[in-house]
Amino acid sequence: MYTLYGKKGSGSATTQVALELIGVSYRVIETASWEPNDAFSELLKVNPLGQIPTLVLPDGGVLSESAAILIHLGLAHPESGLLPRDPSARAQAVRGMVFIAANCYAAISIIDFPERWCADADNDDVVKDRIRAGTRVRLHKHWEMFADLFPARPYLSGEALGALDIHAAVVSKWSGTRKHVEEHRPDFHAALMRIEAHPKIAAVFAQHWPKS
């Protein structure tokens, strides 16, 4: 059985969707650095950074970083379709996931915790707001680039839903990205809506982001 350390409304939704698509047994342990509980010390033992998602594999191995987890699961379960079978398409799916991790996810981390990236900014809200504003502009520009580089056909992974779709659908939910791409990259926004409507994704998203 897989063990997933995660939190509702977080990036752990990517791993949970992937596990659902594969159809394997897993359990979720709810914890996060911003809401530490008794399980957080357990998470730190397997991942000293305290990141979520962290996935403990059936053999006891540990994986962190959403893109790495998705790529591993796609390689370990080729029948799942998480990664395209065609080598060229698979290469582009891997490129897309790493693009999101390196450029989009990284920017969101700065927006969430600007004080980590500027000395003596802990108690300076003006500085933190300036960091957030500049980073958000850059984040939205990165998503515009992504939309241009990875057009949906009808999914980002090709004819069938895959790991790249999952990653984009989750990470694009934060920092005003959806509103921005709806205006500036409407085809990409439509693709995100199509991805979210997939039954497996919709079921997990309903747990993480329940509609009021």
Q: How far apart are CA 37 and CA 39, in angstroms?
A: 5
> Domain span at residue 95?
87-198
Q: Is residue 206 part of a domain?
A: no
pLDDT for 137: 98
pLDDT digits (tens, 9 = 90+) for 157-204: 999 999 999 999 999 999 999 999 999 999 999 999 999 999 999 999
Same structural domain for residues 117 and 164?
Answer: yes
Query: Which residue type does 74 have?
Result: G
Nearest CA among 114, 133, 145 for reference residue 176: 133
Task: Give the ranges where the chain is alpha helix by DSSP (H).
Answer: 12-22, 38-46, 66-76, 87-99, 106-112, 125-149, 163-171, 177-184, 186-196, 199-208
Q: Is residue 63 part of a domain?
A: yes
pLDDT digits (tens, 9 = 90+) for 126-155: 999 999 999 999 999 999 999 999 999 999
Cβ proximity of 54 and 48 under 8 Å: no
Q: Which domain-ending residue is among 49, 80, 111?
A: 80
What CATH number is associated with residue 145?
Answer: 1.20.1050.10
The alpha carbon of residue 150 and the mean position of all alpha carbons in its chain are separated, in whole angstroms, by 16
Furthest-apart CA atoms within the chain: distance in Å: 51
Spatial CB neighbours of 186, under 8 Å, sequence gap ≥ 6: none
Q: Which domain-ending residue is among 62, 80, 98?
A: 80
Q: Is the pTM of this model over 0.85?
A: yes
pLDDT for 212: 43
Same structural domain for residues 98 and 192?
Answer: yes
